[in-house]
Chains A and B, each alone.
Chain A
Amino acid sequence: MSKTKKKTFLLDFEKPLCELESRIDQIKTLAEENQVDVSAEISQLEIRADQLRQEIFSTLTPGQRLQLARHPRRPSTLDYVQAISDEWLELHGDRGGYDDPALVGGVARIDGRPVVIMGHQKGRDTKDNVARNFGMAFPGGYRKALRLMEHANKFDLPILTFIDTPGAWSGVEAEKLGQGEAIAYNLKKMFSFDVPIICTVIGEGGSGGALGIGVADRLLMLEHSVYTVASPEACAAILWKDAKKSDRAAAALKITSWDLKELGIIDGIISEPSSGAHANPVDAAVKLKQAIWKNLEELWQMTPQQRKELRYQKFRNMGRFEIVEAQ
């Protein structure tokens, strides 16, 4: 069962590793059946598998990282919420007539401390994905998120957001309900909250739809997640006039966690298990929780004024230009 699933979602660059791993499994089973000791051979093969894993995952192209960030088995917001919290209660609705299943949120307790968590939610299978609109939120989703953030601010609870969306939904209904206004208003309001805000890109950070819950005191990224101004496909279609040049666009746009750390866009990278978060979700969640907790402890040392000033200055300093003195 699990094997067939694994096969369905295998990315090209994962194949050699997966083949080697399944061969090791085969040998193990055969050896057990025939009661032969092959432990020396097995450990050699396992060392080889480790090397291969290292090789593959340390030399991924930005295009391959994009595939990994969109991996169908990559843990989603609700997966992480379940894994890191002791208690969790999902809250629904934007109080304006809509409850968006693509952007979920609620109250949770992590290691005894209550927090408010929200994030984009992709589906776990095709049916679920259709219901959740592939994690592309409507204006109502952003308004629900805002309502939950205001709730957090009122009760002095830290805000944790998980970013994982191809982008905000582009459709007639979304335009009619003010997609631009909903995102814009969140951006502005997020600068006003007294409580600590930590945003983590867990998969795909797609443009304005990601930023709509992305104004943070600390902006973190899981190692193999990406954050883009426009999807590499759209960028390729517009700038190269050829959507198939998306690999080149992905490289040119600087979308990986390392690139964005170097450019000063994000504050930290959360390392993932060696074959990516989807290969070991439990381990990934542990690392995520540790990183959030470490940052939260630092933020708690500050006054609300200090945090707001820090938040403002952090975004204020983003941008590259030069001052040319007049001759």
Chain B
Amino acid sequence: MSSLFDWFANIRKTEPAVQKQQEREIADGLWTKCSSCNSVAYTKDLQANQLVCPECKYHNRVDSDERIKQITDAGTWKPLDENIHPIDPLKFRDRKDYQARLQDYQSKTGLTDAVTTGTGLIDGLPIALGVMDFRFMGGSMGSVVGEKLCRLIEHATAESFPVVIVCASGGARMQEGMFSLMQMAKISGALQRHQEAKLLYIPILAHPTMGGVTASFAMLGDIILAEPKATIGFAGRRVIEQTLREKLPDGFQTSEYLLEHGFVDSIVPRTQLKKTLTQLISLHQPFYTLMSPLEQNNGHHSEVSEKV
């Protein structure tokens, strides 16, 4: 509901026709209102600041395309598995057919499902990157999210790439029933193999990271980063309030709360994210990749260390 797009949609419905033109200009992107402090910023400035409000430092939601641009070096992004599309395995119908819902979100977002995956360079270093997009059914995890992330991780294991996944999800996609629950196990299995190859995995927890995503790949990083003030948790706030019938502590389930309790390594402002990622990846590069090509040609790193 707090999405900027919803906000504009509501305005359009309720405001008189005269103002419509002006509102459309905003919707078309000249000016953008911060969803936290309501201050209006020139959209280009806001984008230059990676959608972090210059006034209140609020991290406005970023769609996956924008996020990829923020993290990878220009012109290096190679998407993977764009041809994987969701289906409706259970013929699920709540108040609307799942199939129809999927089509709505696809036409609204231009995405096939809630994650985009691919490879790219980050300051010249190769990474396998997965970015979830909250706009697509709340970033919920169904078969496509699971399959694309698994293929990404397996590709990274084969190529010895570090994996970075930007999480933004309400959790499992109920419309796919048990298939969605099992994606948690499936992705965790792929990460186990990536880990056995001694490769680096860094999840970035953006707002919100909940449910089955928290209880699987979001919490399995070698190093876990979070954006400031993101909501991160297993059970939803309302669920907990209902079961306990009491008010929840201030700042409960925020990035800062998780940092305090030892579940994230660092809270990184978005404007520092690329720099931090580059630093972490370069600090964890296998020793032999840092050697000169000549030394590498002489053989495997273990032989080199024997010589030493």
Contact = CB atoms under 8 A, between A and B. Distances in A.
B113 to A, nearest CB: 8
Given A229-B177, A240-B94, A320-B176, A187 B240 contact: no
A316 B150 contact: yes
A227 B177 CA distance: 10
A175 B181 contact: no
Contacts of B142: 319
Contacts of A239: 94-95, 174-175
Interface string B24-57: 0000000000000000000000000000000000
Contacts of A284: none
Given A179-B215, A179-B235, A263-B179, A185 B220 contact: yes
B281 interface: no
Nearest to B146: A319
Interface in B188-227: 188-193, 195-196, 211-212, 214-220
Nearest to B93: A252
A203 B56 CA distance: 50
Given A252-B90, A260-B178, A171 B240 contact: yes
B300 interface: no
B234 A321 contact: no
Contacts of B181: 207-208, 211, 228-229
A230 B243 CA distance: 16
B178 A228 contact: yes
A171 B94 CA distance: 28
B172 interface: yes
B152 to A, nearest CB: 13
B239 interface: yes
A102 to B, nearest CB: 14
B79 to A, nearest CB: 12
Nearest to A177: B261
Contacts of B147: 319, 321
A172 B249 contact: yes
Nearest to B233: A175
B263 A184 contact: no
Contacts of B82: 326
A311 B190 CA distance: 11
Interface residues of B toward A: which range? 35 or more
Given A184-B218, A208-B211, A175 B253 contact: yes
Contacts of B179: 263, 265, 318-320
Contact of B94 (A175, A230, A252): A252
Nearest to B242: A170
Contacts of B185: 187, 211, 214-215, 315, 318
B188 A188 contact: yes
A187 B181 CA distance: 12
B180 interface: yes
A165 to B, nearest CB: 13
A168 B214 CA distance: 13
Contacts of A208: 181, 184, 211-212, 215, 234
A254 B193 contact: no
A79 B145 CA distance: 39
Given A170-B239, A184-B216, A211 B234 contact: no
B215 A188 contact: no
B175 to A, nearest CB: 8
B84 interface: yes
Given A240-B95, A253-B177, A320 B87 contact: yes
A324 B219 contact: no
Contact of B192 (A172, A192, A228): A192
Contact of A229 (B87, B93, B174, B261): B174
A18 interface: no
A214 B182 CA distance: 10
B94 A174 contact: no
A297 interface: no
Interface string A295-327: 000000000000000011001101111111110
Contacts of B215: 168, 179-180, 183-184, 187, 208, 212
Contacts of A172: 240, 244, 248-249, 252
Nearest to B191: A188
B301 interface: no
Contact of A168 (B86, B146, B234): B234
A263 B89 CA distance: 9
A176 interface: yes
Contacts of B243: 170-171
Contacts of A215: 185, 188-189
A52 interface: no
Contacts of A180: 214-215, 218-219, 233-234
B83 interface: yes
B143 interface: yes
B131 interface: no
Contacts of B184: 184, 187, 208, 211
Contacts of A249: 94
B230 to A, nearest CB: 14
5 contacts: A187-B184, A188-B191, A208-B215, A215-B185, A316-B186
Interface of A: 168, 170-172, 174-181, 183-185, 187-189, 191-192, 207-208, 211-212, 214-215, 227-230, 234-235, 238-241, 249, 252-255, 260, 263, 265, 311-312, 315-316, 318-326
Given A215-B189, A265-B178, 19 more contacts: A168-B215, A170-B235, A172-B240, A175-B252, A175-B253, A178-B261, A179-B235, A181-B219, A207-B172, A212-B215, A228-B181, A229-B174, A240-B95, A253-B177, A254-B177, A265-B179, A316-B189, A318-B185, A326-B83
The 8 A-B pairs with the shortest beta carbon distances in the complex, nearest first, are A170-B235, A180-B214, A319-B143, A187-B188, A320-B89, A239-B94, A180-B234, A184-B219
